[in-house]
Amino acid sequence: MLHALQFIATLCSAIFAGAALYINLVEHPARMRLETSLAARQWAPSYQRATWMQAPLALLSFIAGVGAWLGGGGGAWLMAAGLMAAVVPFTFIVIMPTNHKLLAPDRDLSSSETRALLESWGKLHAVRTGLSLLAMVLCMGLLCGA
């Protein structure tokens, strides 16, 4: 059971980190090459679909990491789980206000404020990417060293 939990924690953190990295290195920079209103229109459905993928991955990685720690895998599994768990409050507390502003029905999608919000969103999302990459590297190191 321990090995299964370790594998699940590692797999989920890796998929999350890969998706987050893709967003920061490929999707968002490509989006930002568009005119602001088009970028904002593309961002909204992308954000909504990514939420349904990334939220369960973060949760599963966290639960499996805690399970691995409880199962005797060592405190580093709890640390990896904590890194993945940190993505959730960071998203709700720090990123969500920007998301709500971008999704506001009365937002002028072509405004310079919308462009600034999209630029800010990319930087904030990079923090999520960094947290998940740290968790993934830690999990992989633990898995390979086990």
In the predicted structure, residue 43 carries a pLDDT above the cut 70: yes
Query: What is the percent of the chain with per-residue pLDDT over 70, rounded to a whole number?
Result: 99
Domain span at 141: 2-145
Q: Where residue 146 falls among pLDDT bands split at 50, 70, 90?
A: low
In the predicted structure, residue 36 carries a pLDDT above the cut 70: yes
- Of the candidates 58, 78, 59, the residue with the CA atom closest to the CA atom of residue 69: 78
- In tens, the pLDDT along 96-139 reads 999 999 999 999 999 999 999 999 999 999 999 999 999 999 99
Residues 17-40 have a mean pLDDT of 97
Q: Give the per-residue pLDDT at 145.
A: 85
Cα–Cα distance, 81 to 60 (Å, whole number): 9
Cα–Cα distance, 88 to 20 (Å, whole number): 13
- Count of domains for the chain: 1
In the predicted structure, residue 76 carries a pLDDT above the cut 90: yes
Positive or negative, the CA dihedral 82, 86, 89, 92 is negative
